[in-house]
Amino acid sequence: MNPSKTEAIDPVCGMTVDTTTTIHAERDGKTFYFCGEHCREKFLSTPADAKPDKKSGDCCCG
């Protein structure tokens, strides 16, 4: 499934999120969107050049 223009993939958990209402952060001039604050915090605490973990496709919320 390809996200629409108002959707993005959370880079931490792989969940599809709505870019108009979700939490976001910027890194290296690019905006990243997250399902929740916990994924945003995990993203921000990881060095920019770190290789991302394999995503399960399931949300880590809960």
Name the residue with higher pLDDT: 12 or 51.
Answer: 12
Long-range contacts, stretch 52-55, CB < 8 angstroms, 24+ apart: 52/11, 55/12, 55/13, 55/14
**pLDDT, position 48:** 82
Instruction: Report the predicted TM-score, pTM, of the whole model to 2 decimal places.
Output: 0.74
More confident of the two residues 21 and 7:
7
Position 52 scores a pLDDT of 62
29, HSE (Cβ side, Cα atoms, 13 Å): 0
- Mean per-residue pLDDT of the chain: 84
